[in-house]
Chain A
């Protein structure tokens, strides 16, 4: 029986990884090649046939990625698509695709093992069954997930960062508050990076009956657009009831986070700094996207109005990246997932308390996207645009009404909410400009609509 030398194995794979990494959906530096790879650490978690090697690699630019590398002497057809490369006689592949190795990974968590410098732990009150059948799930933006039976989901973070700990910590806080709007945390795999503890994988209750909010919302929009002559409140697929319940769920999560982790009032200087940051982000996007220039003045007016807010502004821990893709409709109601924080922010920024209106603004923007994305790239149809606008207005209002059942109505703080929404829309303009030019009108139209109200 051969013994794997993990450092050597990963070193052998550097060349293959330079090609393989940029092909992965979760790879952050899209469009850029990988010049150099450095092994931060590599260790054998499971030895034998197959073996599992855990590695952290740093690519040029400084980002650190987590790899779970399966190692076999023979690679079956089923795993062929997951191949990374070879090290001598051995085949290396992306281990999350291997039910056998992933099953054993769960058993390590259940057993509370320490292996290869990694700590496998269950949450104190969690009961997790070992020996569950594992299956990988579809492509995800920044993680790779494995589902066990119908019960658990293990999220392997691909980026090793302190933001991952935030996901676990906020789930723990919400669990402590008895929130029904989360997938309960069950366990985690902890490691260390540059001397600091990081969460590398997170085990949660799997919502086998859950559906992404985006899918439920767009089913409603599709229904409306097919109707043509009916208004958003008349069609069978009306979503306002769901939108209101979602608003209530988000408000309850905010209240629970504040009660467990606290909240604070921010001073004038902090508000000024926040406004300056909005202007700075706008400057950067204006330089790239000429279509935004006609709105620059109104955007700046809307941002500056925040400076004159007299009522207190409260900040706390929030979701940080809330949109319809981050909520699941389950049979028992709405659930918020992925509390890693804002992807664009640095790990340190993610940990800072923020206004809950940031989450509200994110969700309101998401309703706008849901309403208009089916029309993106198509010839302009006034009838359909009117209907989509109605849907967006109706469900944004319903969301706020639902939110107001628990906390204050977000629309009462309209200047702050509007600035957050516009700040988000500016970010979207840059994103669509680079990635989906057909969708660029979605945020631009929203900015234009808002600018009439500001002006």
Chain B
């Protein structure tokens, strides 16, 4: 069966003619021929470091938004590669790229129509390998999103499945004669979908989808699907990618009588994915996207006894809105509470924490009690309510207040977890609320005061989104070049903080202990790490004033009596810690990072 199908080929419609893609031909037994990693060059390997993700600073960048190399108005992989020197200078350890696969783009690229081809406007697989190679040359790693749960309905697998129920792909999706199965599974996009089942007139059956009806769920009960998806992982890992953020992981399996989320078999499959990584690609990571309460998310780290045997990392979703709430309330308790409720994670795992990214906090997944709490705190406050759906960038959310931007960044870099920065926030970029929904925070990166903010040489009308031009955040004044030339800019400040963070393993690896104090507006904590090879202790104290007013705080550091706090950004020694509570005063929204040191000879601190 090698004759072309009777209908237009979806892949051709997606602009993949001329580049390798899935379904250019069929094998004799009716399987689609898919591109293989051996068809491409491979990137050089990153420096081996099995625990790199525990200390790394991540940077989320949209390929579309960063830099346009061919002047067609849309950012691309080559353009991103051209800016790696900037990211290297800034001190980023790993890029996180949202999906860049072939896609009809009906869900921001999360509707993947070919796992083994790049969206043509971003370039091709060779361009990705080039980016990866150039990144690794600079010691920067790259991870990307991979949607395991579903594909686009334009994916050749789905087209085969609907057209040839008896063929090799007939069982790749969840088909049924009735739309009555799994009634306990909630509908996630209630605004657009009325059921998790949609009727397909071609096949004459219903198919299952947890998200949009154009995103049919893969059938993980089918061993061929499991193998096919593991091969997708291998394809990119062979090219040299450093890991995946696994999108929508709780939904892989279905079972009657359950809500079809977080089922044991879903965890079994993640363990299989992990075993592939551990056995064949050590040093690469899996990051779970499970928008749930920390106590539930820890399931995705797997068995604590083995240090974790599912995902290496998972996002800590509730922390972000709590940080905003705490500063707004001038009270540490929103943060203290959520950290107190965050369980220990296996030793080889790490949280991913962020201030902004394109994900939103949804209140569906939390406990009733927590939902009440969040509603009580947010819903009464129109400004906070707007923050539940993350529709704005950091700087406008903080009224462009430099002190608060610094405080928030300092919290992000010092709380437990690997921080994820969002492109442009390092220069305090603004947003464009008139672009609606999510596009407002996806405008072109502002590089220079030149045409199109230096993002592209194209006709300005051809840009995928207009650059920010308002008087406060407009690119003429707010851009990387201007920030680079100003030593006191937010960009230089951010770079310095990343340097400081890199010098102290305690930030990434250390224990977290909150230091209570009688001042509710001050959040103080210890980060402590002992290097197992040398026995050296790295003890960092972080003190944050969440209030706009200056505040005093007395910290109980009596365990450290006689030692000297040295401020980390300037190296200034503070008065030694005595028997009495340690008194500090902080300016409004101020913070300190100290290393607790032993005094050396002749008053030298070491």
Contact = CB atoms under 8 A, between A and B. Distances in A.
Contact of A236 (B329, B556, B579): B329
Contacts, number: 76
The CB with the most chain A CB atoms within 10 A, among B383, B514, B516, B556, is that of: B516
A99 B333 CA distance: 31
Contacts of B600: none
Interface stretch (B37-45, B148-156, B373-381): B373-381
B119 to A, nearest CB: 41
Interface of A: 78, 99, 133, 135, 150, 207-212, 215-216, 219-220, 222-223, 226, 233-234, 236-238, 240-242, 244, 329, 331-332
Contact of A209 (B328, B514, B548): B514
Given A135-B579, A237-B328, A244-B376, 8 more contacts: A216-B331, A216-B333, A223-B548, A236-B328, A236-B381, A238-B380, A329-B520, A332-B340
B305 interface: no
B381 A212 contact: no
Contact of A234 (B331, B381, B516, B521): B381
Interface string B52-96: 000000000000000000000000000000000000000000000
B194 interface: no
Contact of B549 (A133, A226, A236): A226
A241 B376 contact: yes
Contact of B516 (A78, A209, A236, A241): A209
Given A209-B516, A219-B330, A219-B331, A233 B558 contact: no
Given A210-B516, A219-B331, A237-B329, A150 B556 contact: yes
Contacts of B514: 209, 331
Interface in B381-401: 381-384
B113 interface: no
B219 interface: no
B103 to A, nearest CB: 40
Contacts of B548: 223, 226
Given A150-B556, A226-B549, A215 B518 contact: yes
Contacts of B516: 150, 207-211
B340 A238 contact: no
Nearest to A402: B376
Interface in B334-391: 336-337, 340, 373, 376-377, 380-384
Interface of B: 327-331, 333, 336-337, 340, 373, 376-377, 380-384, 514, 516-521, 547-549, 556, 558, 579
Contacts of B521: 219
A241 B520 contact: no
Contact of B520 (A216, A226, A236, A332): A216
Contacts of A332: 337, 340
A224 B99 CA distance: 45
Contacts of B377: 241
Contacts of B330: 219-220, 223, 236-237
A216 B330 CA distance: 9
A244 B379 CA distance: 14
A329 B519 CA distance: 11
Nearest to A213: B520
A237 B334 CA distance: 12
Contacts of A211: 516-520
B411 to A, nearest CB: 16
Nearest to A150: B556
A211 B523 CA distance: 12
Given A237-B330, A331-B340, A135 B519 contact: no
Contacts of B331: 216, 219, 237, 242
A209 B336 contact: yes
A19 to B, nearest CB: 26
B370 to A, nearest CB: 13
A238 B329 contact: yes
B549 A234 contact: no
Nearest to B327: A236
A222 B549 contact: yes
A215 B380 CA distance: 22
The CB with the most chain A CB atoms within 10 A, among B373, B519, B520, is that of: B520
13 contacts: A135-B558, A150-B516, A150-B556, A211-B518, A222-B549, A223-B547, A226-B549, A234-B381, A234-B382, A237-B330, A240-B380, A241-B373, A331-B340
A220 B384 CA distance: 16
Which 5 A-B residue pairs are closest in the complex by CB-CB distance?
A236-B328, A209-B516, A211-B520, A331-B336, A208-B516
The CB with the most chain A CB atoms within 10 A, among B329, B330, B373, B384, is that of: B329
B333 A329 contact: yes
Contacts of A223: 330, 547-548
A332 B373 CA distance: 13
A246 to B, nearest CB: 12
B343 to A, nearest CB: 15
A208 B519 CA distance: 12
A133 B373 CA distance: 37
Contacts of B329: 220, 236-238
A212 B518 CA distance: 7
A234 B380 CA distance: 8
B174 to A, nearest CB: 43
Contacts of A210: 516
A220 B330 CA distance: 8
Contacts of A222: 549
B520 A215 contact: yes
A453 B376 CA distance: 30
B585 to A, nearest CB: 16
A430 to B, nearest CB: 29
B579 A78 contact: yes
Contact of B558 (A78, A133, A238): A133
A114 to B, nearest CB: 31
A391 to B, nearest CB: 14
A226 B550 CA distance: 13
A99 B381 CA distance: 47
Contacts of B383: 234, 236
A219 B556 contact: no
Contact of B380 (A78, A133, A226, A241): A241
A113 B478 CA distance: 71
A402 to B, nearest CB: 10
B371 to A, nearest CB: 13
A207 B331 CA distance: 17
B107 to A, nearest CB: 34
Contacts of A99: 579
A244 B549 CA distance: 25
A69 to B, nearest CB: 21
The CB with the most chain A CB atoms within 10 A, among B327, B377, B518, is that of: B518
A209 B517 CA distance: 6
A234 B520 CA distance: 20
A233 B337 CA distance: 23
B519 A215 contact: yes
Contacts of A234: 381-383
Nearest to B549: A222
A78 B561 CA distance: 15
A277 B517 CA distance: 41
A236 B325 CA distance: 8
Nearest to B373: A241
The CB with the most chain B CB atoms within 10 A, among A211, A238, A242, is that of: A211
A219 B331 CA distance: 8
Nearest to B381: A238
Contacts of B549: 222, 226
A240 B384 CA distance: 14
A97 B327 CA distance: 37
A163 to B, nearest CB: 26
A332 B380 CA distance: 22
